[in-house]
Amino acid sequence: MADDTVKAEALQIIGMFQVLPKLVVFDLDYTLWPFYCECRSKREMPSMYPHAKSILYALKDKGIDLAIASRSPTSDIAKTFIGKLGIESMFVAQEIFSSWTHKTDHFQRIHSRTGVPFKSMLFFDDEDRNIETVGKMGVTSILVGNGVNLGALRQGLTSYSQNVNKIEKNKKKWAKYTQNSSSSEKTE
């Protein structure tokens, strides 16, 4: 599929949702590109998964901010590749460092850099443990099996809006509950 076609489809998918994340965060290795960059040389010209770049552009067009959270031990190679791909300026935060934690540090930093609450973020990664840990922080987290593609985008936005609806429902329940308990206090 040509890049323009992928971007048009991505825009159409994004357009189907009423609530959208403020920030979409991507892992690098096996999420945006199909390799571990620590096994590559900086001199190489990298390529991304076929849909990835067009999806980044579509999200950006819709006014959604983008960020990177990667535990790559070779941030120099990762950053060189991001530069070579011409996507450097698309990200409001690039947290690329190895850590013992499964990206909780990365997300804390992204949050303090951008001010975006975890519940307003969507995250794509190819590793279960990152998805589990970051998901517990309140970020809608999507496991990708074959990199970021249109299917993953649709799945991510669907889960995101379901999570937002759940939060809204709970808020309403809570508001009703507190209303009821305060009115019963008055009658006592």
Q: In what order do the strands lie in the sheet with 23-26?
A: 91-96, 65-70, 23-26, 121-125, 140-143
The residue within the footprint of Mg ion, chosen from 30, 35, 91, 97 (CB under 5 A), is 30
Cβ at position 125, least distance to Mg ion in Å: 6
Binding status of residue 95 toward Mg ion by CB under 5 A:
no
Catalytic residue list contains 125? no
CA 28 to chain centre: 11
Which residue in 9, 27, 65, 95 binds Mg ion (CB under 5 A)? 27
**Cβ-based nearer residue to Mg ion, 17 or 73:** 73
DSSP state of 88: G
Residues 139-168 that bind Mg ion (CB under 5 A): none
14 vs 33, beta carbon nearer Mg ion: 33
State how far the Cα of 135 lies from the Cα of 133, in Å rounded to an integer. 5
Complex with Mg ion: residue 103 or 111, whichever CB lies closer: 103
Among 7, 9, 29, 142, binds Mg ion (CB under 5 A): 29
Closest CB to Mg ion among residues 27, 65: 27
Whether 4 sits among the annotated catalytic residues: the reply is no
Contact 118, 139 (CB under 8 A): yes
Secondary structure (3-state) at 122: strand
How many residues lie near Mg ion (CB under 5 A)? 4
Candidate residues 96, 126, 148, 149; the one interacting with Mg ion per rule CB under 5 A: 126
Nearest distance in Å: CB 27, Mg ion: 4
**Which stretches of the chain are assigned E, i.e. beta strand?**
23-26, 65-70, 91-96, 121-125, 140-143
How distant, in Å, are the alpha carbons of 16, 17, 77, 132 from that of 41? 41, 40, 7, 31
The residues that touch Mg ion, with contacts defined as CB under 5 A, are 27, 29-30, 126
Residues recognised as catalytic:
27, 29
